[in-house]
Each structure stands twice: as structure tokens, then as C-alpha cells.
């Protein structure tokens, strides 16, 4: 097995595991799934070691298998500087999500195979080098997710599941339209049909305006952009997230927040911007303002929530706003901050959902009014809660700070007003996070049932400890991780904006 098959194993191992899971018993399938995802850690480690950071801009470990020859579509997998951190993040969060789901009561075999199929689909989305393959994996992601929410979720799971599916799918339809158009253009402009993403970036668009002042490039961009904006989620397309998060089981919430939301920003960086850079440059101010509104609005709405998971869901809207703002600044600092925020948000919010899940498992309620004063009863839990809350707020020394700071600097270099408005986000971020901590942990014990709460169990420690270690490590020494892929971030804007009227002038 050479390097070129590593990525294939990364994608298909969980799929094989999912099939095997059907044949096992409920008890056995739990541990089997855990073993499969820990094998994923091993594979991810090999990817980490084998990744050539000096050539991070190029696709590495490429695996190519011809699929639909007449259409030029192939089963192609490859990894480069932009997908590298996200693939590592995906593989990292899988065993943690599975550990968090160990106490599920019904249909455990199918539960676990759902997770494994989701794992395969997510990894495939990040690794696909072919447009059609990307779309296949993108849609494949939806199916286990709607099952996870709709079967194993809370009281209003079916509504949330259907809403999530239709909302995301509607966006995907628009993306499909863009893909169709681009596909036909490859035949026209390049002589033959091909699905390779690199070929799409070479396409030119005619400046003829079709309607509403939009030309072909802008329409293509909008098709991609709306699909990804729904996924991010970007204000005002965010309302599926609170419902999905509140109703999903703990493991589903963890994966939804940690990985699925990053698909949106990844898509922007991989597809929307390189294929239609002129359109992006024209829309960037508008998107930046939407991101800023998302940062503030998410924080303000989170502050008034009475449900813990909804609060964390809106905090995700706020944090992902930072990621999008970093992209819209169109400079290296912003982009690096954005990528770091993607990874950091995944780890931190995953940990937050783990903690909320611990409480939900014990008391089957997510409302703040049912808690209060827990710090006196479950000290270890409280320490973890405050620790993860600090990471969420962006306290320096923990992972949240570096990404946030770089996004601020990037925004300041792009447009000072953006930075002025966004920096107030640190105040509101502290406000809702500390409110969450206060309502859960501090004050007198208002509910007698809370007195008998058990502290963190061994299994829960196993799930959350790797995240805590990473929070500290990425806060104090992010450079060892960052240096693996920052070469591709440094050159991203120079490469992408070559096609536009701007040039080296705005690149920093």
C-alpha cells in the first residue's frame, strides 16, 4: 500500500465498517465503530506525517480511478493545504462523537453505521478532486445526518430533520445548476468534458449580462455561494442550525458543529472563489457585512436563549462569522485566521456539546432553569466547563485567541470600519458565554434533583481529554500545526486573484 492508496483507505474504511456494523450485535457494534474510528486516527497520523509542507499548494497523495470516461469524470482523491487541516479535524472528532453516543438505547447497530457512513462522506467531500465526486459526497453527507437527527433526536426531531434536509438540499440544487453550466462550458472551452476541479478554474466567462445585472460568472458564483452560505451558516440563512442542533443527539451535534459547518467555508475557498474570482471580489463587501452582522447577531441572540444547546448553536453562527470575515478580507492574515478558527471552533464547540450532552444524559433537560449551582456538586465538570468557555471566549493562551486575533488584523488591514465593529464582538462573546456559565454553575442549587448528579465518568473523560489537550497545545504553540499548511495560505490570494482586475496590489 503506497501513499496514493492512503486517501482511498481514509474514505472507504469507515464505509466498509458501516456495512460490517449491520451484521454485528448492538454491544459489539459500539466497540467496533470505536475501533474503526481510532484506526482513522492512525491513518490521519500517516497523512500528517506524509504531507509535504514545502509543496502544500499542490495536490498530494493523489489517487485517480476513471469512472465515467465519456464525461471525463473520475474517482479522484487528493489533499492540499486547504483540505489538510479539515481532514485531520474530521478524523479527530469521529471517535469522540462515537464515545459520546455509547449510551444510546435504540437501534445501536444502525446508529453506528450512520456515523461511519457520515465519516466516509465527510472525508470524501474534503478529498474529492473531481466536481461530480464532490457533489456525490456532498449529498451523501445529508442522508446519515437526517437519519441521526430524525430517528435518534429529541422531541421535535422529525421537523428539525426535514427542515435541515430541505433547506440544505435547496442550496445544493442551485449549486448543481452552476455545476451543469460549468460542465457544459468545459466541453465548449477546453474541447472535452472533464470533471477535474483544476480544469474548472481555467474557464473564462462572458461578460454578457443575463438578468438583474448579473453575468454568467456572477450567476455561477451565486449558485455555489448560496449553497455554501446555507451550510456555513451565514446570516440570514442560519435558522436551520438552532433547530438541527437542539434536536440532534450529542454525537450528531458534535459532528454537525465541528465538521459539517466547515464544508461551507471549504467550499467557498475551493470552488466559489477560484472559479469565479471576479464575482467574489465584487460581492466581497456585501458578504463581509453579512458576516459581521452574523457575528454580532449570533452573539446577541445567544445571550437571551433559555436552552443550552440553542445558545451554543447561535454561538456557532457567531464564530463562523469570523471565519467568513477572514476570507472576505482577501489577505493572508485573514485567511490564516479563518482556517485556524475553523479548526479551533471545531474542537471547542465539540467540547462544549460534549459537556452539554453530559448534563442532558443525566437530567434529560437542556433548559437553564433546571440547572444552577452545579459548581458545588460536580467540581470536575465545572472546571472543564469554565475551561472550555474560556476557549470559546478567546482567552489568550488557549486556542480561540490566535485565529480570532489574525481575523481581526486581516479585517483591519482590509477595512478599518470592519475591525472597529467586529472587535466589539469580544465583549458580546464574553457576555453570552459567561451567562451560560453563571446560569449553569453558579448561585444556589435551585433544583433538588441536581444534588445527586454524578461527576464526569471515565468514558466522558476519555472523550473530552484529547480536546482539552489540543485546546492548550494549539493555544500555546500553534506554529507546529500551522507551518504544515501555511504555505498554501500564503500564496492563495496571489494565485486566485491573478484572473481578476486586481493584482498584487491588494495581496498582503
Partner 1 sequence: MMMPLLLAAPLIGAIVNGLILRPATAKRAGVIASIAALTSFASVMVQHFAPDAGPFEWTWFTVGELTVKWSFASDPLTWMMCAVVTGIGSLIHIYSIGYMSHEHNAYRYFAYLNFFLFNMLVLITSTSLLGMFVGWEGVGLCSYLLIGYWFEDINKAKAGMKAFIVNRIGDAGFLIGIFICYQLFKTLNFAEIAKLLDTQTFDVRMLNLAAFFLFIGAMGKSAQIPLYVWLPDAMAGPTPVSALIHAATMVTAGIYLICRMNGLFLVAQDTSLFIAIIGISTALLSALIATSQRDIKKVLAYSTVSQLGLMFLALGCGAYLAAIFHVMTHAFFKALLFLGSGSVIHACEGEQDIWKMGGLKKKLPSTFLTFTIGTIAIAGIPPLAGFFSKDMILYSALTAKSYGTTFWILGLLVSFLTAFYMVRVWALTFLGEYRGDKHPHESPATMLIPLYILAFGSIVAGFLGMPEGLHLLPNYLEAFLHPVLGPLVEGHGALSEERAMAVATVSAIIACSLGFYFYSKPERSETPGKILVPFKTVFENKFWVDELYGLVIVKPFDALCAFFAKFFDPNIIDGLVLLPSKAAQGMGSLLVLLQTGIVQTYLLFFVFGLLVLFMVLLKGVVL
Residues engaged in binding partner 1 (CB under 8 A): 163, 166-167, 236, 238-240, 297, 300-301, 303-305, 332-333, 336-337, 373, 375-376, 386, 390, 395-397, 401-402, 405-406, 408-409, 412-413, 419-420, 423-424, 426-427, 430-431, 434-435, 438, 441-444, 476-479, 482-483, 486, 490, 508
When the beta carbons of 110 and 297 are compared against partner 1, the nearer one is 297
Dist CA 401 CA 410 (whole Å): 14
Query: Which of left, alpha, beta for 98 (phi over 0: left; psi -120 to 50: alpha)?
Result: alpha
Minimum gap (Å) between residue 326 Cβ and partner 1: 11
Dist CA 238 CA 287 (whole Å): 14
Minimum gap (Å) between residue 111 Cβ and partner 1: 29
When the beta carbons of 21 and 146 are compared against partner 1, the nearer one is 146
Phi, psi of 442, deg, nearest 5: -105, 175
Strand 60-68, strand 209-211: pairing: unpaired
Find out whether 393 and 400 touch, Cβ atoms under 8 Å: yes
Phi, psi of 52, deg, nearest 5: -90, 105
When the beta carbons of 164 and 205 are compared against partner 1, the nearer one is 164
When the beta carbons of 104 and 490 are compared against partner 1, the nearer one is 490
When the beta carbons of 225 and 492 are compared against partner 1, the nearer one is 492
When the beta carbons of 151 and 431 are compared against partner 1, the nearer one is 431
Minimum gap (Å) between residue 40 Cβ and partner 1: 28
When the beta carbons of 30 and 231 are compared against partner 1, the nearer one is 231
User: Which residues are CB-neighbours of 318 under 8 A, at least 6 positions away?
Assistant: 294, 295, 296, 297, 298, 299, 302, 425, 428, 429
Cα dihedral sign for 234, 235, 239, 244?
positive
When the beta carbons of 316 and 486 are compared against partner 1, the nearer one is 486
Identify the bridge partners of residue 128 per DSSP, sorted by sequence position: 77
Question: DSSP for 387-412?
Answer: HHHHHHHT-BTBHHHHHHHHHHHHHH
Alpha helices by DSSP H, 201-307? 216-231, 240-247, 250-255, 261-267, 273-275, 277-303
How many Cβ atoms are within 10 Å of 213's Cβ, its own excluded? 7
How many Cβ atoms are within 10 Å of 414's Cβ, its own excluded? 23
Query: Which of left, alpha, beta for 61 (phi over 0: left; psi -120 to 50: alpha)?
Result: left
Minimum gap (Å) between residue 271 Cβ and partner 1: 24
Dist CA 179 CA 162 (whole Å): 25
Element (H, E) at 66: strand 60-68
Minimum gap (Å) between residue 150 Cβ and partner 1: 17
Minimum gap (Å) between residue 438 Cβ and partner 1: 5
Minimum gap (Å) between residue 30 Cβ and partner 1: 31
When the beta carbons of 29 and 486 are compared against partner 1, the nearer one is 486
Residue of 64, 67, 59, 49 whose CA lies nearest to 8 = 64
Minimum gap (Å) between residue 440 Cβ and partner 1: 11
Minimum gap (Å) between residue 197 Cβ and partner 1: 26
Amino acid at each position: 500500500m503506497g501513499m496514493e492508496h492512503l486517501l482511498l483507505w481514509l474514505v472507504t474504511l469507515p464505509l466498509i465498517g458501516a456495512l460490517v456494523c449491520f451484521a454485528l450485535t448492538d454491544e459489539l457494534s459500539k466497540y467496533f465503530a470505536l475501533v474503526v474510528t481510532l484506526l482513522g486516527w492512525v491513518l490521519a497520523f500517516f497523512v500528517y506525517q506524509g504531507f509535504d509542507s514545502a509543496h502544500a499548494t499542490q495536490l498530494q497523495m493523489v489517487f485517480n480511478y476513471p469512472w465515467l470516461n465519456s464525461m471525463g469524470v473520475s474517482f479522484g482523491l487528493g489533499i492540499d493545504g486547504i483540505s489538510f487541516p479539515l481532514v485531520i479535524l474530521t478524523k479527530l472528532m469521529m471517535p469522540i462523537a462515537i464515545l459520546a453516543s455509547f449510551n444510546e438505547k435504540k437501534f445501536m447497530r444502525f446508529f453506528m453505521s450512520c456515523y461511519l457512513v457520515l465519516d466516509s462522506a465527510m472525508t470524501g467531500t474534503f478529498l474529492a478532486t473531481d466536481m461530480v465526486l464532490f457533489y456525490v459526497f456532498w449529498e451523501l453527507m445529508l442522508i446519515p445526518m437526517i437519519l441521526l437527527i430524525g430517528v435518534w433526536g429529541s422531541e421535535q426531531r422529525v421537523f428539525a430533520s426535514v427542515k435541515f434536509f430541505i433547506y440544505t438540499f435547496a442550496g445544493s440544487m442551485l449549486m448543481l445548476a452552476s455545476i451543469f453550466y460549468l460542465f457544459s462550458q468545459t466541453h465548449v472551452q477546453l474541447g472535452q468534458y472533464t470533471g477535474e476541479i483544476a480544469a474548472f478554474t481555467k474557464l473564462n466567462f462572458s461578460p454578457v449580462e443575463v438578468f438583474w445585472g448579473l453575468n454568467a460568472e456572477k450567476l455561477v458564483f451565486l449558485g455555489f455561494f448560496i449553497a455554501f452560505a446555507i451550510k456555513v451558516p451565514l446570516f440570514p440563512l442560519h435558522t436551520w442550525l438552532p433547530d438541527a442542533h437542539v434536536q440532534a443527539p450529542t454525537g450528531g451535534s458534535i459532528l454537525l458543529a465541528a465538521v459539517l459547518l466547515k464544508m461551507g467555508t471549504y467550499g467557498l475557498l475551493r470552488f466559489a472563489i477560484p472559479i469565479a474570482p471576479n464575482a467574489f471580489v465584487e460581492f466581497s463587501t456585501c458578504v463581509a457585512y453579512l458576516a459581521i452582522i452574523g457575528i454580532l447577531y449570533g452573539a446577541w441572540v445567544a445571550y437571551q436563549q433559555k436552552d443550552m444547546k440553542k445558545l451554543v448553536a447561535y454561538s456557532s453562527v457567531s464564530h463562523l462569522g469570523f471565519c467568513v470575515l477572514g476570507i472576505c478580507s482577501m489577505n493572508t492574515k485573514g485567511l490564516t485566521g479563518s482556517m485556524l478558527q475553523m479548526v479551533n471552533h471545531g474542537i471547542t464547540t465539540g467540547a462544549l456539546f460534549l459537556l452539554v450532552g453530559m448534563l442532558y444524559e443525566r437530567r434529560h433537560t437542556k433548559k437553564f432553569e433546571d440547572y444552577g449551582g452545579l459548581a458545588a456538586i460536580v467540581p470536575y465538570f465545572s472546571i472543564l466547563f469554565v475551561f472550555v468557555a474560556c476557549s470559546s471566549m478567546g482567552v489568550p493562551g488557549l486556542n480561540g485567541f490566535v485565529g480570532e486575533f489574525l481575523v481581526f488584523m486581516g479585517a483591519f488591514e482590509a477595512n478599518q470600519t470592519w475591525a472597529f465593529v467586529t472587535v466589539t464582538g469580544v465583549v458580546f462573546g464574553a457576555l453570552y458565554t459567561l451567562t451560560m456559565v453563571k446560569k449553569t454553575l453558579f448561585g444556589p442549587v435551585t433544583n433538588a434533583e441536581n444534588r445527586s448528579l454524578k461527576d464526569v465518568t471515565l468514558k466522558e473523560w476519555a472523550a473530552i481529554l484529547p480536546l482539552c489537550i489540543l485546546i492548550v497545545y494549539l493555544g500555546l504553540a500553534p506554529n507546529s500545526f500551522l507551518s504544515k499548511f501555511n504555505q498554501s495560505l500564503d500564496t492563495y490570494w496571489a494565485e486566485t486573484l491573478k484572473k481578476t482586475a486586481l493584482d498584487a496590489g491588494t495581496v498582503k
